[in-house]
């Protein structure tokens, strides 16, 4: 675990990445018409990520209520033939288990394309099958549409995964940023319904608190990777004009987190969301949930997406993959 003590200074690779992003001349995705902004978000990430080989990749659609939710399935080598050596290193042995992955992007941006490299890396490094979910996004589909899609896909997988050659147990849900918010929210909904199939929860710098009053928001208010103004806008888009106060979105409003699955939480030291993530980990512990928490003190928000440029991103992805694999393996 990376100790949560000052000072926090950016890794030298972060400055080089910022220079590269500035040189690209790309505008802020928020300033563009929505379809263009979403394409811009993915196009910014693609050349900066890693995209290692896995055993097989398949796109499908899952029926959730009256609509279909697109998903992308990543199968590890060993379940679908050998994977060639790639930039992420040797593939882990194939393991039984599936990870439902919910992408970040402020509930507005992000999709199967933007997070393809991250899902490939997690699959390769964990040896687990990954199902990435292209949930409905705001503002066209504000809260709780994305939560409903996440819960629906998890329930479908638990009941029908065997029909498409996926292990229905053990099952984890994971996500980065707003996707981490959705992962925790889905776990809470399933817990409260009494039918949770989840054995593990992976939260990568999750958004948990729309109040945005923590010290890390003050320290990193103008961070170029994620500013406070951006988060105000994201929360408003998700809530249909204002930040939602429902505990399925405002996770800090949940008074009892007991019964959630064992959790791995990764925080970034230079992230406005740092303190709310660390506080959520502590709240889980107080509720009796086993938690492993790790802070990458010299990294900004979203750093795991930039594994093609940041060595710490590759370390973080490997750690997250190991934690999820160990969590699904159960006690030694």
Catalytic residue numbers, as ranges: 177, 271, 301
Give me the sheet containing 171-176, strands edge to edge. 56-64, 67-75, 129-133, 98-102, 171-176, 198-204, 263-268, 291-296
Tokens 């940041």, residue located: 310
Q: Give CA angle at 292 (189, 295), nearest 5°.
A: 110
CA-to-CA distance for 76 and 122, rounded, in angstroms? 10
Could you tell me if 298 and 269 are in contact, meaning their C-beta atoms sit under 8 angstroms apart? Answer: yes
User: Is the backbone of residue 106 left (phi > 0), alpha (psi -120 to 50) or beta?
Assistant: left
CA-to-CA distance for 124 and 114, rounded, in angstroms? 17
């Amino acid at each position: 675990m990376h100790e949560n003590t000052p000072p926090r200074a950016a890794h030298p690779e972060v400055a080089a990445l910022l220079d590269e992003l500035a040189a690209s001349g790309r505008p802020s995705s928020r300033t563009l018409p929505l379809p263009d902004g979403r394409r811009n978000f993915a196009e910014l990430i693609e050349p900066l990520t890693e995209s290692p080989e896995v055993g097989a990749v398949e796109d499908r659609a899952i029926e959730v209520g009256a609509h279909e939710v697109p998903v992308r399935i990543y199968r590890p080598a060993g379940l679908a033939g050998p994977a060639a050596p790639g930039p992420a290193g040797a593939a882990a042995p194939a393991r039984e288990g599936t990870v439902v992955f919910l992408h970040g992007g402020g509930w507005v941006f992000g999709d199967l394309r933007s997070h393809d490299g991250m899902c490939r890396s997690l699959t390769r490094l964990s040896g687990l099958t990954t199902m990435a979910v292209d949930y409905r996004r705001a503002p066209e589909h504000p809260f709780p549409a994305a939560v409903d899609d996440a819960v629906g896909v998890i329930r479908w997988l638990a009941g029908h995964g065997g029909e498409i050659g996926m292990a229905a147990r053990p099952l984890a849900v994971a996500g980065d940023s707003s996707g981490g918010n959705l992962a925790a929210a889905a776990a809470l909904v399933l817990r409260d319904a009494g039918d949770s199939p989840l054995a593990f929860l992976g939260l990568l710098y999750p958004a948990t608190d729309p109040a945005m009053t923590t010290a890390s928001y003050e320290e990193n208010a103008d961070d170029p990777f994620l500013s406070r103004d951006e988060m105000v806008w994201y929360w408003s888009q998700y809530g249909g004009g204002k930040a939602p106060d429902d505990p399925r979105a405002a996770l800090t409003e949940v008074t009892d987190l007991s019964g959630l699955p064992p959790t791995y939480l990764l925080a970034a030291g230079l992230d406005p969301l740092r303190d709310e993530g660390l506080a959520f980990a502590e709240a889980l512990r107080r509720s009796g949930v086993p938690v492993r928490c790790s802070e990458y003190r010299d990294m900004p928000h979203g750093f795991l997406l930039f594994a093609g440029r940041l060595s710490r991103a590759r370390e973080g992805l490997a750690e997250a993959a190991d934690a999820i694999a160990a969590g699904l393996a159960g006690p030694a």
